[in-house]
A and B are shown apart, each in its own frame.
Chain A
Amino acid sequence: AQKVTQAQTEISVVEKEDVTLDCVYETRDTTYYLFWYKQPPSGELVFLIRRNSFDEQNEISGRYSWNFQKSTSSFNFTITASQVVDSAVYFCALPSFGAGGTSYGKLTFGQGTILTVHP
């Protein structure tokens, strides 16, 4: 069964600090995808990034970057120069191969990391 662990329950930083959110996953699939979502106080889950397992190249997109390492089953997410608007709950998620085995479907989420950015 898929499993996602976000060991950091809460992180508090001051604006402009860099912050890294950890995610460790378990899967028996040989190829898979990983996602990060953000849930601001309004409650709506917002898609941030998606990576596939056959591409371990780390990337940067604006203030966001991610570090994917298959050897340690980790998919960490970094926000550079954090801002107050980054305050939210961040979820790492792993899709499961759906019933019938034809495609990925449901997402398994971690418990989330509450990020608070203070001015």
Chain B
Amino acid sequence: DTGVSQDPRHKITKRGQNVTFRCDPISEHNRLYWYRQTLGQGPEFLTYFQNEAQLEKSRLLSDRFSAERPKGSFSTLEIQRTEQGDSAMYLCASSSWMWATDTQYFGPGTRLTVL
């Protein structure tokens, strides 16, 4: 059983450019989460999906951010018109939610540097 994978692992971009990250969850996991982690801090929730439906978005997710999970499998997170403040590690997690709560398993992350 392969774990959560994320692509790319590192991304360097110039301010104002658009970037897109991909997350492939553990097979058959119905939930997929996105978090952002800056240096020295714990991860902060951005958004999550149950199958194709986006169930919750954080107020951290400005209108420059958009996430999709077509067909309930992989997910993409796009940041438009990147700013230096977007530099962070973007983490994806997946889980198999059946009752009450779930255990989230994390991928290796995508480290974004905005110059």
A83 adjacent to chain B (CB < 8 Å):
no
Give chain A residues whose Cβ lies under 8 Å from the Cβ of B99.
103
B56 adjacent to chain A (CB < 8 Å):
yes
- CB nearest neighbor in B for A95: B101
Interface residues of B (CB under 8 A from A): 31, 33, 35, 40-45, 48, 55-56, 58, 89, 91, 93, 97, 99-109, 111
B100 near A100 with CB under 8 A, answer no
Interface residues of A (CB under 8 A from B): 4, 33, 35, 37, 42-47, 50, 52, 91, 93, 95, 98-100, 103-112
- CB < 8 Å neighbour of A33 from B42, B45, B101: B101
- CB nearest neighbor in A for B107: A44
A107 near B109 with CB under 8 A, answer no
The secondary-structure label for the interface of chain B is: strand
On whether A112 and B97 interact (CB within 8 A), knowing A45-B106, A98-B55, A98-B56, the answer reads no
B56 near A106 with CB under 8 A, answer yes
The secondary-structure label for the interface of chain A is: strand
On whether A43 and B55 interact (CB within 8 A), knowing A35-B103, A103-B100, A104-B100, the answer reads no
Known A-B contacts: A104-B101, A106-B33. Give 8 more (CB < 8 A).
A4-B42, A33-B100, A47-B104, A104-B100, A104-B102, A108-B45, A109-B44, A111-B42
On whether A99 and B104 interact (CB within 8 A), knowing A91-B42, A107-B43, A108-B45, the answer reads no
A43 near B109 with CB under 8 A, answer yes
- CB nearest neighbor in B for A97: B101
* Nearest CB of chain A from residue B78's CB, rounded to whole Å: 20
Give chain A residues whose Cβ lies under 8 Å from the Cβ of B108.
42-44
A106 near B41 with CB under 8 A, answer no
A43 near B89 with CB under 8 A, answer yes
Give chain A residues whose Cβ lies under 8 Å from the Cβ of B111.
43
Give chain A residues whose Cβ lies under 8 Å from the Cβ of B103.
35, 47, 50
- CB < 8 Å neighbour of A44 from B35, B104, B106: B106
Determine the distance from Cα of A105 to Cα of B31 in the docked complex, in whole angstroms.
Answer: 9
> Can you list 29 A-B pairs with a CB-CB distance of less than 8 A?
A33-B100, A33-B101, A43-B89, A43-B111, A44-B106, A44-B109, A45-B91, A45-B93, A45-B106, A47-B105, A50-B103, A91-B42, A98-B48, A98-B55, A99-B55, A103-B97, A103-B99, A103-B100, A103-B101, A104-B100, A104-B102, A105-B48, A105-B56, A107-B45, A109-B43, A109-B44, A110-B42, A111-B40, A112-B41
